[in-house]
Every structure is written in structure tokens, then in C-alpha cells.
Amino acid sequence: MSKIALITGANGGLGTAMCQKLAQEGFVVLANGLSEEKLVQWQSNQKSEGFDFSIYPADVGSFEACEAMVAKITSEVGVIDVLVNNAGITKDGVFKKMSKEQWSAVMRTNLDSIFNVTRQVINPMIEQNYGRIINISSVNGEKGQFGQTNYATAKAGMHGFTMSLAQETASCGITVNTISPGYIGTDMVLSIDEKIRQNIISTIPIKRLGKPTEIADIVAFLAKEESGFITGANISANGGLNMHY
């Protein structure tokens, strides 16, 4: 029987690549997004490319919304085997001028969300003695970034979540891992002014942006049964921008 995978923030550039890759690998893919209207349009676009994804709009910043979403999925499809916590936003600004709204909005969507969604799926995973949880962080959660104290804090928090939950669930057939992408060629990054984008690329040792499919390939690997000996890990995929061990 095919494994069921839920991807949050599915209709973005990275999320789309993840959905398509997991579908190609034989997973039943469920797509979450905040806006039902945008998600429906995305679903239609994906159908034109040959992908048929079930959609589950919900605000992952709301515990109650996540509870309702997962209850509906369980009723309609079954127990979620793979969760990809991919939803995220930015509200950049230097800290001395950062508003409480900028801080709270990023924390709510980028960090609270991984509790809100994972809390709904963890007990069924424990009961079935199997699960894969994949958290999408960022290179800036590893090294920090000027003007992103909120974003970097939230993304760094994912690492602590990953390592702690991995220890709690390792004996239950569940793995919990993080992927930390660098600068990826999504529509958002490609819309940056050409000069600024080239300055960014000049700092990357590989001298190019990453491809969404390159991150999706890592997600697919960690989602498989064969990756069961990897847990509590962070996989950095940043073209050498931040090298460490």
C-alpha cells in the first residue's frame, strides 16, 4: 500500500517540487496551503501537468485548524505516514526597527506550525510504529542573516525540535530530520533584482542557485523506508555557502 505524505506550504516553489517528486516515487500526496483559492488554482495547474493532488487548505499557525485538517485527512484518506513541514514566510527588517507583528507572524507560521501539525500526526505514527517527519529549515537558521533575526530564530528552532523529537520517537520506527536549503531558484528568489541576485550567487562556492528539484530529491530520500537509520540529522544543501560538520 502506498504511503501517505502531507506537505505543508505545498503550492510554493519548493513545495511543488516536493509534491511532484513524492508522487513520482509512489506516495499518495496531500497538499496543504493557507489560501483555499490559491490552492485550488495550483491544483488545477498541477492536473494540467499530469499530477492529481488532494488539497487540504488550513492555517498551520493555528493548532485548532491543524487538528481539524488532520482529522479530515484521517477520515478521508488514512493515517499520515510522512509529514513535510515546509510552510514558511519572511517579514524581514533590522531588529532595532522590527515590530512585534513581524516577529510574531514569522514565529507563528515558521515555528509554531511544526508543533501544530506534528502534534496531530505523532501519536498515530507511534501506534503504527512508523513515520517520517521532515522539517524544512534554512541556511540562515544555521549561520544567521542580517535583517532576519525573526526568520533565523524560527529556522534555528527547528533543529532543536528535530533532535529532541528524534530521541523521543527513535524506538517507535519514526525518523525526524531537517533539511537546510541555501538560496534556491524559486520564483521568489528569481524575482530579486538581477544585480542583487548575482551578488548572492557570487558568495556561493558552486556559483549558482540551487534547484527546487535538488531539495525535493533529499525529501524523497528521507521519506523512504530505506532511510530508517537516519534520524535527528540536519542535511545542509547550500552549494557550500555554509560549510560545517
Enzyme catalytic residues: 151
Lookup: cell for 23: 508522487
Query: Who's near 216: CB < 8 A, 6+ residues apart?
Result: 14, 17, 18, 20, 21, 22
Contacts of 68 (CB under 8 A, 6+ apart): 58
Question: Using an 8 Å Cβ cutoff, are 28 and 55 in contact?
Answer: no
Give the C-alpha separation, 39 to 109, whole Å: 17
30 forms beta bridges with: 6, 54
* Amino acid residing at 139: V
